[in-house]
Amino acid sequence: MVTKTLAELSLGLKQKTFSSVEITKAYLERIQKFNSKLNTFITVCAETALEEARLADKHLQTGQAEPLTGIPLAYKDIFCTQGIKTSCGSKMLDNFIAPYDATVAEKFKTAGVVLVGKTNMDEFAMGSSNENSYYGPVKNPWDLNVVPGGSSGGSTAAVAARLIAGAIGTDTGGSIRQPAALCGVTGLKPTYGRVSRYGMVAFASSLDQGGPIAQTAEDCALLLQSMAGFDTKDSTSVNTPVPNYSGLLNTSIKGLKIGLPKEFFGEGLNPTIEGHVQNAIKELEKLGAVFKEITLPNTGLSIPVYYVIAPAECSSNLSRYDGVRFGYRAKDPKNLEDLYKQSRTEAFGDEVKRRILIGTYVLSSGYYDAYYLQAQKVRKLISNDYQKAFKEVDIILGPTTPTPAFNLGAKTADPVSMYLCDIYTVSVNLAGLPGLSMPAGFVNNLPIGVQLIGNYFEEARILNVAHQFQKVTDWHKKMPPLGNTL
Ligand code: GLN
């Protein structure tokens, strides 16, 4: 049962092959068995999950069910959940219990979802390896010595190890797609504004976007259906109709024009990953897609631009953690200023502090024009590159990451090499576009992903292409050895 996709679980619930309580119990058992090895969950909500499952079973009995009724899910611990701890992977919020639900959590509640737990993550979503969590690193279920990617690594590792069939994450510069690739699962970052950010702890507000993580594109479509939509509580959410994502999954891709950015295939790309991307291209060609080389000339500037803009926004967003209103408070401060200083010194980790320092620096009056303003200008050039490309092609395809997962500790002493993990993903956030990563092969027994990028609000199109690919391949069905022991 625990190896089923969300679509299969949904069908089984409707046909009464099993109940929500049975599935929920099966996942809770599995989490209990493997979480100590993988460290994917910060909080497991066993009791409330079973209560929710019992209620869902009642609704299923009386025919009041929606597609996700009774389905257990896990949320990255960045989504506020009323009455359940929301730590954001930080000591700062270790004692924080939100008084309200994030819009996404509320939507899932209304849809009858069972919340099984909150997943581990890099502190405040800053990282590419999940090693920046106050709760310790997450291990990759494919090899316990390597990282799962980050910052949504708890969610992707949990789905990969089949501790849950679906989870949600957030993606500011790659945090859904990169760990999805490194764990061998499917993850979608929607268009900026497609999914409400209300109640999602802010890192870099102009880049953050929540999205689904599951085994398949079909499952991501199912999850996105519930997550997407306009929200009056989020001024950046966009009021545009939500298509029927699942309904649009069986569209032919004959004649679909797919662009291959030459900048995504240059130096630094692992040759085996490149080979898998070429194989994916061949599969899609067989289905009728046509490929064309394109150029995104400012790709090389996306990491430097991101590492000005994201820290700038984070330094502003994280100024709210002052030891006064909520979160960690230092003991016995000498005065108010000391309270601020000590609380922040004691409760933020090194990477968060590094970003606050960089952000404060680039926003300071003497450097604002040289760094922040300049970065905003280049950000516009990066978006323009994509818009030019979308005049020639319908979607864009490339690798998700330059390398497979690396050993725990391998990059912790060298932040710049860590930042380069997101070389193919950050520009998508800077432009606000939707991007998806799907499993596409293995390098030394570690999974890797292929990325599909669509134009604004074209989630349905990239989900469909991924679904067509998954109908003719089985990379997404592979399970880590750990998963086979139950
Ligand atoms: N790895 C990137 C960073 O550390 C992206 C993180 C994210 O998408 N949340 O900022």
Q: What is the mean pLDDT of residues 5-13?
A: 97
382 within ligand 1 shell (Cβ under 6 A): no
Question: How confident is the model over 256-298, as pLDDT tens digits?
Answer: 999 999 999 998 999 999 999 999 999 999 999 999 999 999 9
427 within ligand 1 shell (Cβ under 6 A): no
Q: Is the predicted pLDDT of residue 110 greater than 50, yes or no?
A: yes
- Do residues 81 and 52 lie in contact, with contact meaning Cβ atoms separated by under 8 Å? no
Q: Is the predicted pLDDT of residue 87 greater than 50, yes or no?
A: yes
Domains annotated for the chain, with CATH where assigned, are 6-254+435-477 (3.90.1300.10)
Q: CA 79 to CA 44: how far, in whole Å? A: 14
For residue 128, the ligand 1 atom closest to its alpha carbon is: 1
Q: Is the predicted pLDDT of residue 112 greater than 90, yes or no?
A: yes
Q: Write the CA distances from 21 to 46, 49, 110, integer angstroms.
A: 11, 9, 18
Q: CA 304 to CA 302: how far, in whole Å? A: 6
Mean pLDDT taken over the chain: 97
171 within ligand 1 shell (Cβ under 6 A): yes
Q: CA 6 to CA 218: how far, in whole Å? A: 9
Residue 215 identity:
Q
For residue 152, the ligand 1 atom closest to its alpha carbon is: 9
Give the CB-side neighbour count of residue 144, counting CA atoms within 13 A.
10
For residue 421, the ligand 1 atom closest to its alpha carbon is: 1
pLDDT at 486: 44
Question: How confident is the model over 369-404, as pLDDT tens digits?
Answer: 999 999 999 999 999 999 999 999 999 999 999 999
pLDDT at 485: 52
Listing from the earlier edge strand, what are the strands of the sheet with 166-170?
41-44, 114-119, 72-76, 166-170, 210-214, 186-189, 435-443, 446-453, 395-399, 257-261, 290-294
Q: Bridge-partner residues for 81, per DSSP?
A: 84
Q: What is the mean pLDDT of residues 223-235?
A: 98
Q: CA 70 to CA 76: how far, in whole Å? A: 19
10 Å Cβ neighbour count for 285?
A: 12
426 within ligand 1 shell (Cβ under 6 A): no
Q: Is the predicted pLDDT of residue 351 greater than 80, yes or no?
A: yes
Q: Is the predicted pLDDT of residue 195 greater than 50, yes or no?
A: yes
- The DSSP secondary-structure symbol of 138 reads P
319 annotated active-site: no
Instruction: Quote the percentage of the chain above a pLDDT of 90.
Output: 96
Q: Is the predicted pLDDT of residue 302 greater than 60, yes or no?
A: yes
Q: What is the mean pLDDT of residues 41-49?
A: 98
151 annotated active-site: yes
- Residue 91 Cα to ligand 1 midpoint, Å, equals 19
- Residue 127 Cα to ligand 1 midpoint, Å, equals 5
399 within ligand 1 shell (Cβ under 6 A): no
Q: Is the predicted pLDDT of residue 484 greater than 80, yes or no?
A: no
Q: CA 213 to CA 232: how far, in whole Å? A: 25
Q: Look up the pTM and report it.
A: 0.98
Q: Write the CA distances from 314 to 126, 186, 310, 353, 485, integer angstroms.
A: 10, 27, 6, 10, 42
Residue 334 identity:
K
Hey, what are 30's tokens?
């599995």
427 annotated active-site: no
